[in-house]
Amino acid sequence: MARVAIVTGGTRGIGEAISLALKDMGMTVAANYAGNEEKARAFTDRTGIAAYKWDVGDYDACQEGCAKVAADLGPVDVVVNNAGVTRDGTILKMSREMWEDVIRINLGGCFNMAKAVFPGMRERKWGRIVNIGSINGQAGQYGQVNYAAAKSGIHGFTKALAQEGARAGVTVNAIAPGYIDTDMVAAVPADVLEKIVAKIPVGRLGQASEIARGVAFLCSEEGGFVTGSTLSINGGQHMY
Ligand code: CAA
């Protein structure tokens, strides 16, 4: 039986590349999305991958969404918590809503999804959870106290849940992407982005497929001894 995988935010950007990479590994993939139905339909037409709409920041919606995927495709073996948003601004200009949205969606989404799938993975003694963190959760970033806090939280969440899953065959890992050529990064003002790219030793933005490759490894059968780790894929921008 093919493994069943859910990729949150899986119809665009890094998530789309991850959905495709897991499909190429022979998995049955469900790509979750929160927003644009038209774009999601185009994604399904393009890739043959089913798209499911729910908000990962909503606990009940995650329970319902994951149950629906399991009913349609089978028990969920793999979850990639990729969905995330930015609400950038210096703390002087950051509203409480900008803070709460990012914590609820980026960090809360990981908890909500794990609550929905972790019990079944434990019972079946096999699971892979990959959480997409960020270089900005490791190093901080001017204008992103909300995003850096949520992504940093994801790295702690990963190490804690990895300890709970280890004996039951459930690995939990994180990837910390650097600046990747996606709509999210394209939204950074051009002059600011230029300065950021100048500090990337590899000398360019990353490609979504370069993140997906790492996710595919962590989700593979052979990845079973890797747990609680963070794989940085950032062109050398942050080394430690
Ligand atoms: N360090 C120190 N000072 C900085 C700075 C930095 N990194 N960046 C800007 N400043 C300074 C500016 O020089 C400026 O100083 P002066 O007033 O003396 O000229 C001051 O801070 C104000 O800066 P801005 O004009 O940029 O302020 P703003 O309010 O217009 O915009 C901002 C602030 C929205 C945060 C904008 O700087 C910005 O968008 N920065 C990019 C944030 C970023 O990298 N986001 C990543 C999004 S992609 C992502 O998150 C994916 C991932 O995981 C990597």
Q: How far is 118 from 168, CA to CA, in rounded Å?
A: 10
pLDDT digits (tens, 9 = 90+) for 56-79: 999 999 999 999 999 999 999 999
Among candidate residues 70, 73, 82, the one with its CA nearest the CA of residue 9? 82
Q: What percent of the chain has pLDDT over 90?
A: 98
pLDDT of residue 102: 98
**Does the pLDDT value for residue 6 go beyond 90?**
yes
Q: How far is 127 from 168, CA to CA, in rounded Å?
A: 8
**Does the pLDDT value for residue 36 go beyond 90?**
no
Radius of gyration, CA atoms only, the chain: 17
Q: Are strands 230-233 and 170-177 parallel, antiparallel or unpaired?
A: parallel
* Stated pTM of the model: 0.96
What single letter denotes the amino acid at residue 90? T
179 Cα nearest atom in ligand 1:
54
Separation of CA 143 and ligand 1 centre (Å): 5
Element (H, E) at 174: strand 170-177
The mean pLDDT of 30-38, rounded to a whole number, is 94
What residues flank ligand 1, with Cβ below 6 Å?
86, 88-90, 93, 134-136, 141-144, 147, 177, 179, 184-185, 188-189, 192
- What are the residue ranges spanned by the domains of the chain? 4-233
The mean pLDDT of 195-209, rounded to a whole number, is 97
What single letter denotes the amino acid at residue 191? D
Reply yes or no on whether 179 is catalytic: no
pLDDT digits (tens, 9 = 90+) for 128-186: 999 999 999 999 999 999 999 999 999 999 999 999 999 999 999 999 999 999 999 99
Q: Whose CA is nearest to atom 26 of ligand 1?
A: 192
Q: List Cβ neighbours of 46 (8 Å cut-off, separation of 6 or more).
A: none
Element (H, E) at 171: strand 170-177
pLDDT of residue 1: 84
Q: What is the mean pLDDT of the chain?
A: 97
The mean pLDDT of 74-99, rounded to a whole number, is 98
178 Cα nearest atom in ligand 1:
54
End-to-end CA, the chain: 40
Q: 4-233: which CATH number, 3.40.50.720, 3.40.1710.10, 3.40.50.300, 3.40.718.10?
A: 3.40.50.720
Categorize the per-residue pLDDT at 234 as very low, low, confident or very high, splitting at 50, 70 and 90: very high
pLDDT of residue 240: 83
Q: How is 68-126 classified by DSSP, letter by letter? A: HHHHHH-S--EEEE---------TTT--HHHHHHHIIIIIHHHHHHHHHHHHHHHHHT-
